[in-house]
Amino acid sequence: MSSDRKTGTPKDSHYARLRRAHRRTEETGRPAAKPRPHPGQQAQQPAPDGLVRLYGLHTVRAALDNPARKVRRMLVTRNAAARLGLAEPLSLPFPAEIVEPRDIDRILGADAVHQGAMIEAEPLKPKPLAALSGTPLVLVLDQVTDPHNVGAILRSGVAFGAGALVTTARHSPAETGVLAKAASGALEHIDLIEVRNLAEALEELHAAGFETIGLDSEGPAELEDTFSGGRVALVLGAEGKGLRQKTRATVSALARLDMPGAIRSLNVSNAAAVALYAARRHLDRAGGR
């Protein structure tokens, strides 16, 4: 990373500026202008219509192993092909090309950590809430739009056995390479549920036997003392504004994470990981799987 000669501090990377843009979108509800790359910096090329570009070894391997994922094209270096266990990448059931890392750089831009592997694929199709499986643990996002946060939440959700991620059709991030890379393959291992009205979806979860718990730093009780029953839906709001008022009024309970330190709040993806750990321990004791 280059440095500013006047201050000696690192210049903002395009990646960092994108993160701030997404943060402003979450806090204001208004789309932020897309940051421009520095002069001479390679910019990401748009994906073909109807396709998404996924990259990184874990992300690509998980996508290749997912029978629901329709891959249309692959670019891979010889080293990455070996690490992915692809003895004959050119014999795959879709077009594949052995390339140099710089060839993928030219497509994805200089900031994408692709590890020598990229695919172009159809996005996964979200399911309706009626398709929710018998899982005892789900995640519900109330207008969390930062793809880095959503990807990290997906990764934690799969790690702790959550069966679904529920989002709204509006004010949620589309499937992108950035989100998939942050999820590190988890996107392929969890049901994506899309609803139009979050309050109505919460009521449907109640009818299905779920206790819906909204995470709130000012919640009246600690999360561990709030769990009851054998099905839990953790509801998380966007950073800055948190849960919307209608969501707060609809959940079964509001709860806080016990944080005795000087900092009283966590990044939403970190809060999700802590809450998932607590929920999994409760469900294991209650006999949930």
Residue 29's contacts (CB-CB under 8 Å, 6 or more residues apart) are 143, 171, 241
Domain stops at, among 98, 121, 144: 121
Asked whether residue 156 falls in the same domain as residue 222, the answer is yes
Residue 153: CB atoms within 10 A of its CB come to 28
- Quote the CA–CA distance of 195 and 126 in Å, as a whole number: 9
Distance CA 186, CA 180 (A): 8
pTM of the model: 0.82
Is residue 89 one of the residues assigned to a domain?
yes
Who wins on pLDDT, 260 or 6? 260
Are residues 170 and 271 located together in one domain of the fold?
Answer: yes
The C-alpha atoms of residue 250 and residue 214 are separated, in whole angstroms, by: 9
CATH number at residue 113: 3.30.1330.30
88, 121, 154: which is the final residue of a domain? 121
105 and 158 together in one domain: no
pLDDT digits (tens, 9 = 90+) for 230-280: 999 999 998 888 999 999 999 999 999 998 888 878 899 999 999 999 999
Is the pLDDT reported for residue 94 higher than 80?
yes
Residue 20 confidence (pLDDT): 58
Q: What is the pLDDT of residue 138?
A: 98
The confidence score (pLDDT) of residue 263 equals 83
Say yes or no: 117 and 133 in one domain.
no
Q: Is residue 143 part of a domain?
A: yes
Residue 9 is predicted with a pLDDT of: 37
| Total domains present in the chain | 2
Look at residue 44 and tell me whether its pLDDT is greater than 80.
Answer: no
Q: What is the pLDDT of residues 178-222, one digit of tens each?
A: 999 999 999 999 999 999 999 999 999 999 999 999 999 889 999
Is 83 inside a domain boundary? yes
* Domain boundaries, position 82: 52-121
**Higher-confidence residue: 288 or 46?**
46
pLDDT value at residue 10: 42
**pLDDT in the model for residue 3:** 38
Structure-block tokens of residue 268: 């939403």
| Mean pLDDT of the residues in the chain | 87
Asked whether 137 and 92 are in contact (CB, 8 A), the reply is: no
Tell which wins on pLDDT, 162 or 260: 162
CATH of the domain at 232: 3.40.1280.10
